[in-house]
Structure 1
Amino acid sequence: MALLTQDQGGFGKVYHVIIRGRHAALKKVPASLMTKEDIDREKRVYRSISHPNVVKLICDPRLDKELKWNIPLEYISGKDLEKVMFTSHISIQLTESVLVTIITGMCSGLREMHNLNIIHQDLKPDNIMVEYSTHRAVIIDLGLAKFDRNGLFSGQEGGNRYYAAPEVHQGFKRDKGSDVWAMGKITAELLITPRARLPTAIRGSDVRSCLSGNPYRIPVSNMVKTKPKRRATMDDIYSDILDAGLSLLQK
């Protein structure tokens, strides 16, 4: 059982294992940090989604003798987007075609989640894996994901602050709109050259300036509008994301 990584939030460790003859990423979380209710909610989230750009649950979580929850997830042979973007990693070169594959994939995964009324809450480059062979982008770490039923949320609040939308910093609950803002910021950081982290308070006008001449300029700026009511939804923006990708490849 090989250790893959350690979650930044300290919620446990992830191991590369073989389960039922297939590779898996086994997340082990102390029972003191997750209740049975938390585990059941996380399981419902995973079972609700079947999409190539969202990580899959292989089988039901179980509590082991060490009082740790064992959560067996799809194993993605690759690197998280944080490392791909901000560290030198020769296995994944961010060519234009790779950028388009990553952006299209992660936006498609989030669109599917939102169409199923699931909010991720903790989108950041660390929580998007990029597969070595295909450059498939996979949204991972749904431990904080929650269901939205007509504005009534099922699940705990949480998530990082650096990719939190302006309204979250003002004390409002995370929702689909704040997910869109986070995805917009991630996409902008992936596209700007030279690559750099953008300020927490990034605005649509900032993105338009940073991405001047880039086909993604307008759709991404619409994802990070400061006012939630003016911000695009993933359904609104998805066809524009696809068009921008085609334009980038044809330049």
Structure 2
Amino acid sequence: MAFSATTYDKGNFGKVYKVTFGNTRAALKKVPCTVVTKEEIQKEKYIYRSLRHSNVVKLLADPWLDSDGVWNIPLELISGKTLEKLMFSSQSYMELTKPVIITIINGMCEGLAYMHSKSIVHQDLKPDNIMVERGTYRAVIIDLGLARFQKNGLCFGAEGGNWCYSAPEIFQGKPRDQFSDVWAMGKILAELLIVPRARLPPNITPVQVFAAMNMNPYGLPVHRMVDRFVLFRPTMAQILGQIVQAGRRWILLTSFLGNLGIAF
């Protein structure tokens, strides 16, 4: 197994390398056993094995512990860039046109809706944890190291995740769940869609998001996703259809206004 000279990516607890794995290329996540237990590795493996979707990264084989005391987790290699780099790097080679943005949005929302249908909470959604494949623009949710199962409204496993994409209730000491995933995805969509593109503050309100979207058809579903009250926030299954329809309306509205000589 040949390792690349440079690190491919960094996860929550380890590093990821491009390697040759069998007859294919893989992203090999390497995590020292000093920072993760065997039980946690088994839990992560079980989560990966529970998911089979084109918009969620795949586990290629069971993890193993090498002689250096490092856990090796072979994952599907996505040839492309993180959404973070596409959104905020001036050196991005992908042009984020409307059709490309719609493809990315549909993909990552379908991936998250699928994860939730399997009672799995990601916990750490952010642009860095969305890969966009070169050429196809397939969006793939990655880094499931903090993911955990949710049953009857209760989550089982370690609490974790970043603060920048944390829902308001997290700052009040509430545990992360599928609804906090929805809020994080809503904020990601808002940052991808607002013009000019910018990183939004953690305490952004639904009204501010709606205003920043500037009549974009995605405004209403995204507004609902970042609702500060969990009781009013939809599930991904409930909002997915509206997101798909918003993309179609965006293309139609752009075409209609373009025929009138109005840029949108």
TM bin (shorter chain):
over 0.9
2:8 maps to 5
Q: Secondary structure at the match of 1:133?
A: coil
Question: Alpha-carbon deviation of 1:46?
Answer: 0.4
- Looking at structure 1, the residues matched to 44 and 184 of structure 2 have their Cα atoms a distance apart, in angstroms, of 21
2:104 maps to 102
1:122 maps to 124
1:191 maps to 193
Q: Secondary structure at the match of 1:38?
A: helix
Give the percent of matched residue pairs that are identical in Structure 1 and Structure 2: 55
1:14 maps to 16
Q: How many residues align?
A: 250
Find 1:66's aligned residue among 68, 83, 90: 68
Question: Alpha-carbon deviation of 1:217?
Answer: 0.5
- Looking at structure 2, the residues matched to 30 and 109 of structure 1 have their Cα atoms a distance apart, in angstroms, of 29
Question: Alpha-carbon deviation of 1:213?
Answer: 1.4
Matched, 1:234 2:236: yes
Q: Are the equivalent residues in 2 in contact too, given 1:91–1:132 (CA < 8 A)?
A: no
Query: Which whole-Å deviations, capped at 9, do the CAs of 1:45-81 have from their partners, x for residues lacking one?
Result: 1000100000000000000011000000000000001
Q: Are the equivalent residues in 2 in contact too, given 1:203–1:225 (CA < 8 A)?
A: yes
* Residues 160 and 220 of structure 1, relative CA distance in 2, 3 Å threshold: same
Question: Alpha-carbon deviation of 1:152?
Answer: 2.7
Q: Are the equivalent residues in 1 in contact too, given 2:11–2:143 (CA < 8 A)?
A: no
Query: Which whole-Å deviations, capped at 9, do the CAs of 1:125-184 have from their partners, x for residues lacking one?
Result: 000000111000000000000000112322100000000000001100000000000000
The within-5 A match list for 1:59-208 is 59-208=61-210
Q: Are the equivalent residues in 2 in contact too, given 1:5–1:15 (CA < 8 A)?
A: yes
Q: Are the equivalent residues in 1 in contact too, given 2:225–2:233 (CA < 8 A)?
A: yes
Question: Alpha-carbon deviation of 1:91?
Answer: 2.1
Question: Alpha-carbon deviation of 1:89?
Answer: 3.3
- Looking at structure 1, the residues matched to 21 and 251 of structure 2 have their Cα atoms a distance apart, in angstroms, of 39
2:261 maps to none
**Which residue identity does 1:103 align to in structure 2?**
I
Matched, 1:42 2:71: no
Q: Secondary structure at the match of 1:244?
A: helix
Q: Secondary structure at the match of 1:187?
A: helix
Question: Alpha-carbon deviation of 1:7?
Answer: 1.9
**Which residue identity does 2:229 align to in structure 1?**
K
- Looking at structure 2, the residues matched to 38 and 102 of structure 1 have their Cα atoms a distance apart, in angstroms, of 30
Q: Secondary structure at the match of 2:8?
A: strand
Q: Are the equivalent residues in 1 in contact too, given 2:87–2:197 (CA < 8 A)?
A: yes
* Residues 12 and 196 of structure 1, relative CA distance in 2, 3 Å threshold: same
Unaligned runs of 5+ in 2: 255-264
- Looking at structure 1, the residues matched to 64 and 233 of structure 2 have their Cα atoms a distance apart, in angstroms, of 40
Find 1:219's aligned residue among 193, 218, 221: 221
> Which of these two proteins has the greater Rg computed from alpha carbons?
2
Unaligned runs of 5+ in 1: none
2:259 maps to none
Question: Alpha-carbon deviation of 1:8?
Answer: 5.9
- Looking at structure 2, the residues matched to 36 and 230 of structure 1 have their Cα atoms a distance apart, in angstroms, of 39
- Looking at structure 2, the residues matched to 232 and 185 of structure 1 have their Cα atoms a distance apart, in angstroms, of 14
- Looking at structure 2, the residues matched to 6 and 104 of structure 1 have their Cα atoms a distance apart, in angstroms, of 24
- Looking at structure 2, the residues matched to 28 and 208 of structure 1 have their Cα atoms a distance apart, in angstroms, of 41
Question: Alpha-carbon deviation of 1:6?
Answer: 4.2
RMSD of aligned alpha carbons: 1.0
Matched, 1:51 2:53: yes
- Looking at structure 1, the residues matched to 202 and 7 of structure 2 have their Cα atoms a distance apart, in angstroms, of 29
